[in-house]
């Protein structure tokens, strides 16, 4: 994966009941591949907390993706 090649720490999490703009587009009939990327958080229903390392890793991942050949 891009994160592994760039030595960017990451974790996968699956939220089967989470909605996003992409899921709304799919519900409307669009055939799109999608993923959500963000810093890991805790207590997402009140005050959200994260570690600065998570924010830095997210920035590094976005930067690596934009510089990769995965983007036209």
Residue spans per domain, the chain: 2-67
Residue 50 tokens read as: 């994260």
CA distances for 61 relative to 7, 16, 48, angstroms: 10, 23, 21
pLDDT at residue 15 above 70? yes
| Predicted confidence (pLDDT) per residue in 41-59, tens digit | 776 677 778 889 999 999 9
pTM above 0.75, yes or no: no
pLDDT of 38 reads 84
């Amino acid at each position: 994966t891009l994160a592994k090649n760039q030595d960017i720490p990451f974790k996968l999490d699956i939220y089967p009941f989470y909605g996003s703009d992409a899921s709304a587009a799919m519900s409307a009939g669009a055939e799109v591949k999608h993923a959500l990327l963000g810093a890991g958080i805790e207590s997402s229903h009140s005050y959200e907390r994260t570690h600065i390392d998570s924010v830095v890793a997210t920035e590094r991942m976005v930067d690596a993706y934009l510089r990769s050949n995965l983007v036209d």
